[in-house]
Each structure stands twice: as structure tokens, then as C-alpha cells.
Structure 1
């Protein structure tokens, strides 16, 4: 009697692992959690004060569907100053998290049967979200030698007359790869030529270590017109549980998303919106300090990986993940269906460390580690990973 839609989708792997870790900790098991993409910082104090002030002033009634005016104005300022993208407030739609913003986008621009191009490795929910709106996900096989980044030539090979939209995640989850302006320009030129929308998921854009982040929509007014930029507050301002994201797009798409959201959600929590406003207006220094910490951790975790045998990795220039190549280990490890899932399950069970199997991102011989946690935790986690790998390889020699 349930919807056939449920037969098409799989539960979120990362949320599943997180739930399992919480259950283990509740049972008294000491677990190192390197799986979740959640900052270990708190929401900046000045941002919280804006939320408290809104509650004290009884800002708790229904408001505008696309979001409160002062927050959309602040987002427009941020996009202009930081991303060189000029938007008006009627082109901004606030959503209950970046996930909700992506879903609104897919509902607004796709029809059943449309093909959505998703470069591998991809964030776990893109694939399932596409199926939920009855569109067809098409995986693009990218190359490790290019840090798994999409190229214009590769993109052309996957375009058909059913292609409607390309999802481009920059910086990437899970690889941490960051596109250059030249790389993006070549990709968007193909999309312009073929009349394909671009969903530019830029949720990690503030966490970029080479100071070269380029927003897709900044590459020209014609590019901006076909681009739906998705961003939010979870990663940059540690507002994961407050569920606040947004889109920037042309007015027609924004109106469509607002209409959809008006029926499904109305608008995101007002308290979250006022906190987000405070984060943008008053907390740039707090955000910059978080990024400095992530960069320090990136340097520490990669230096440790460089000393480990049988592993390789994609050097992350953004976000707070390392995508680790365990293909040498996979050749020796005895598994039934999925190397990465069974490897991660055994690692969690025997070594009490949670990491994410690469299968969740479409590539089975990899695992993802998050360093949005204390240095002691991820270094101890890597020590245990090395011990597990050496045991596997020694048993095979």
C-alpha cells in the first residue's frame, strides 16, 4: 500500500552511520566519529543573540515565504561582496536547509524522465533526491588523475536530448577538490551551448584554503541566468541543526521555488533566519577563525596520511573531508558485495571508529574521513585505521 517511490530510494548512509554511533555511545561504547560532516564549533554568539532578540520581540508569526527581507538583503550583499554576483532580494529563496533548497530546485526545473548529470564521486543525497522527483540520475565517471573534477570534454559525452540539469558541487564533498575559474568557464560554456541548467552547490565555499574560490554565477549574466546557486549556514556558521539554506537564481525560477515552498513548508523557522542574519552581518571573523582551524587540521591529517602504507588520497583544497583511496587494500580484503561498506562496518565494530564507505558516493574502493572534529580524535582514528590496514595486508602476505 506504500508509494512505489520508496522502492527507488535508499536511506542516507551518513545519517545511518551517525545514528549507529549515537546508539553505541548511548550503550557506553567509546566511539571516534569521523563520519559526520558537522562542524565541532558552536554557532557564533552574536548570531545567537539575534535569534534571542527576535524571540523577545515575538517574531514568531507567519512571514514571507521566500524569507525575511533583512536576511535576503544581507545575502544579496554577501553574494555581491564575496562572490561577485549581483542579485535582488526577489531572486533569493530561503529554505529549511540546503537539502530543502536542492529539492525545491529539482521540483521547479525538472519533469519526470528528465536526466540530471551527477559527477562521481557525489554527495550521497543527490542521487536519491533526483529519483524522488521522478527524474533520472546519470553518473559521470570522472578521473582520479584530475582530482575527480568534471571537464568540458567529459561533460559532452554524457549529454543527451533528455539532459536538463548538471549538479556541480564546489568545493566537493567528498573529495575537497576546488575548481579553477578556467575549469568552470569551459564547463559552463557547454551548458550554455546545450541549454542545460546548472545547480551550483556551493555550501562549502567559505571553507576554501587556496583563496581562489569562484562562484559559477559570477562568470557572466548569461551563465547566471541558467545557474541556481545553493548555499546555506550549516557548514560556515555551524548551524547544522537550525536547518537554514538558500538559493540564488533568476526571478522566474525563484518564483517557482517560492510557490512550491509555499505549499510544502511555508518558510523556514524565523528564529533560524534571524540567527542566520546575525551570522552574515556580525560574525565574519568567527567564520574566518573556523576556516583557519580547518586548514590547520587539513595539513595535519594529510601529513599523517603521507606516512601510511597502502593508501592514497585526494588532496583537499576545500571543505573538511579527505577521500582516501584504499584500492590496494581492496585487492586483499575478503568481502561479499561492497568492499567499502564491509570494510567500514568491520572497522567500526572492531576498532570503534566511524568513517563513511565510498560506495555512498558512488566509488567503492574509497572511504571518507571528516576532520570537523578535534585533532586528537582524527589522529587516533588514523592510527587505528593504519593498524587495521596493516593487519589486513600482513594476513595476506
Structure 2
């Protein structure tokens, strides 16, 4: 059976694969602690759910414009003006089926075959694959703990070639929780703008910051705004992962191209979820604040617990809901009756021997690390730490 080169070359999402395996074990009665998925464990806020119910009762169940209903695009434009200090018109916003879909549309809109997209590592697992699907070539630039896992202007300059088309930046970062400062973003944007790059800024975790501030590059200088494709959504901040609402805000020609691509691929986004997203963006934000403070407590619990374990080195993340410790001190050792030859093997050992699901750093372009999500209860985090202590104590 013939499959296209595109289909043969694409890799499935490692995080989804591990999350699926963890859920299978749970369904079989195993006491699995799932620290693999980036999914809030909180319920969607009540006023958001009520808005969806009202939309159903009102019969708001038809197709909508491909780029999203005007009410939601106005709410998104107001959100960016209020929270980020950057102005967008309604027709510069395209609502998509989650932030991942918005990113995919962006790469499809700006990449020609062979165009290079610069991606700092560690990176979210889907960035390189989406670039490849769009015909582009991912150019991976390694970062490390010595820079707080941040791309520097010097490293960006070294990665530039005549084929460079775009740069993707994710702050707060998945998987590291890194938050770039205003000055750092300005310095990177200056290099990118001079090189004529599109700057694709993934800002899904903007409301989950514990130290520092969130800054949108598009708000820094007018010339940057014209080179930025800003990606955001309601999944993380409002515990709305399954509602599948994300968006892109971009200069009008890019937004128009993305809307046209979407119109031929998926057409409009779920009508009811759009009404729910309006309520999330325009309604009370108390739940967002409460969730953020609970994440902060979980972060501190996990960081402090991991820092006491042998062979693990961990930086305190400033945002998102992940911890990304180095586990190089464990590799090559016998753990749980098996040799942990690399981070992939170690993740398998943790799942099979301790029933803890994590994602190996290899999936994010940086072998020797693990990503642990603290979007789960403190009770689960405490139990995970106890299991790790027992397992590693007997290594």
C-alpha cells in the first residue's frame, strides 16, 4: 500500500503516545500517576460551561465563518489590547481548533519547500513535525541550563542562512517553564527583524507565570508587530483543553491566508465552544488566578522533592506547569532491575516499575532530561515523589 512521503516521514506525538499508555494502564486497574500530559486537572469555570449550555439552548449549532464568529474575534482583540498592549483588528484574527491548529496554519501560510524555521531546543514536540508537514526545514538551536534554556541573539545569528524564513519562540516555555524578559525578547526580535524573519510566538501559557512578566514581542515595537504571528488560546489558562479553541493574531495578509487555508481544511471551529471562549475571555478571571496559585504551590512541592533525589538536577521554572530536570546522573545505572541506558529507557522504567508516566527529554530535542507535568493534584505529586525515592534508593 502506497503512502505519501509526508505520511511516512511524520512522527506521532510522544506526549500523546505516553499519555495514552498511562490511561490504558489506569483503565486496567493500575495505580498510575500521570505526569506526562500538559492538561489542567481543574474543571472548566462554571460561567464558561453555562455559556456553552446557553448556546446549545439557543440553537447556536450551525456553521460559523471560517475565521471565527465576530463576537469572539472582538473579544480576542480586546484581550490583546488589555493584557498585551497590542492592537489587532477583527480581520487580523483567525480562530482555530486549538493552538496546535493555529500553529499549523501559520507554517502552512509562510513556508515554501526548503524554507528554514529556527526552533530553540528544548522545544514542544510538535514544532518540527508541523514545519516538515508544511514543507519547511526545522533548524534546531540547542540551549542549556547555563542560559536558563533561553535562545541568545548570538546563537540566533549563527543559525541564520539565506533560507531562513521564521523563528518560533515559546514563552512561558513547554517543556522548561522558561520565561523570557522584555530585554531578552527585544534583543532576539531585533536580530529576527533585521533578517526578515517571521516571528511565530507561542503564548499559550501567558497566564501561568510565577516570577517575572509576560511580554508579547508584537507589543514592543511597531516594526516587530508586522513580523509577528501571535498564537494563543483558552486551553491552558481556562482548563479548556477539550473545547479546542485557539487563535492566531497576525498582519492582515497573513491572517487572510491562514483563514483561506483553514476554510479548505476544516472550515469553521465548533460553534458552541466559540461562545464558551467568549465567556472565558470577557467574564470573571478569578478561576485563572486561583488555578495559577495552586500551580505555584505544586511547582514548589515538586521542585523541592526532586532536588533531594540522587542523580537529578532541577531548575525552578518561572512559568507553565512543567518541571524539566536533568537525569544524566541516573543514566547507565541499574534502576528497577533494568539498565537506564538513556532518558527514553528511564521513562519506560518509571512507567513499568513505579507506574509514573513522564516524557523523555529526547522528545523535546534534549536527551538526558525528563518532563514532569504538575497539572495534577498535590496528593499525586507527593505519591510520585515517594515512589521515585523508593525506586532510586534501590538503584
Whether the TM-score (by the shorter chain) exceeds 0.5 is: yes
**Residue pair 1:333, 1:339 contacting (<8 A) in 2 also:** no
Partner of residue 37, structure 1: 38
Structure 2: gaps spanning 5 or more residues: none
- Kindly indicate whether the alpha-carbon contact (under 8 Å) linking 2:332 and 2:341 is maintained by their aligned counterparts in 1: no
Q: Give the secondary structure class of the aligned counterpart of 1:324.
A: coil
For residue 291 of structure 1, what is the aligned residue in structure 2? Answer: 292
SS of 2:113's partner is coil
Q: What is the rounded CA distance, in whole Å, between the counterparts of 1:356 and 1:386 in structure 2?
A: 19
Deviation, 1:154, is: 0.7
Would the aligned equivalents of 1:177 and 1:315 in 2 still touch at CA under 8 Å?
A: no
TM-superposition CA deviations, 1:108-166 (whole Å, max 9, x none) = 01111101111000001111111111111111011221111001011000000001000
Further displaced range: 51-60 or 111-120: 51-60
What CA distance in whole angstroms lies between the structure 2 residues aligned with 1:109 and 1:314?
35
Structure 2 equivalent of residue 264 of structure 1:
265
Is the CA contact (8 Å cut-off) linking 1:90 and 1:251 kept in structure 2? Answer: yes
Within 2, Cα distance between the matches of 1:186 and 1:279?
A: 33
1:200 match: 201
Q: How does 1:60-209 map to 2 (within 5 A)?
A: 60-209=61-210
Deviation at 1:249, TM superposition (A): 0.6
Between Structure 1 and Structure 2, how many residues are aligned? 392
Q: In the alignment, is the contact (CA less than 8 A) between 1:338 and 1:359 conserved in 2?
A: no
Shift of 1:338: 6.3
1:307, CA displacement in angstroms?
Answer: 2.0
> Which shifted more, 61-70 or 307-316?
307-316
* Secondary structure of 2:323's aligned partner: strand
C-alpha separation in 1, matches of 2:82 and 2:232? 15
Deviates most, 255-264 or 139-148: 139-148
* 3-state SS of 1:314 partner: coil
Partner of 1:3: 4
Query: Shift in Å at residue 391 of structure 1?
Result: 2.6
Q: Does 1:341 align with 2:351?
A: no
Cross-structure match for 1:395? none
- Encode CA deviations 1:16-54: one digit per residue, 9 max, x unaligned: 011111111111111110111000001101011111111
Name the residue aligned to 1:241: 242
- 1:352 paired with 2:355, answer yes
**What is the Cα deviation at residue 97 of structure 1?**
0.5
Task: Provide closer, same or farther for how the CA distance between residues 211 and 285 of structure 1 changes in structure 2, counting only shifts above 3 A.
Answer: farther
TM-score normalised by structure 2 residue count = 0.97
- After TM superposition, the structure 1 stretch with the greater mean CA deviation from structure 2, 357-366 or 299-308, is 299-308
Matched residues in 2 for 1:85 and 1:209: separation?
A: 23
Structure 1 match to 2:385: 382
| Structure 1 position 7, deviation (Å) | 2.1
Indicate the SS of the match to 1:58: coil
Q: Give the TM-score normalised by structure 1.
A: 0.96
The question of whether the paired residues in 1 share the 8 Å contact of 2:298 and 2:378 is answered with yes
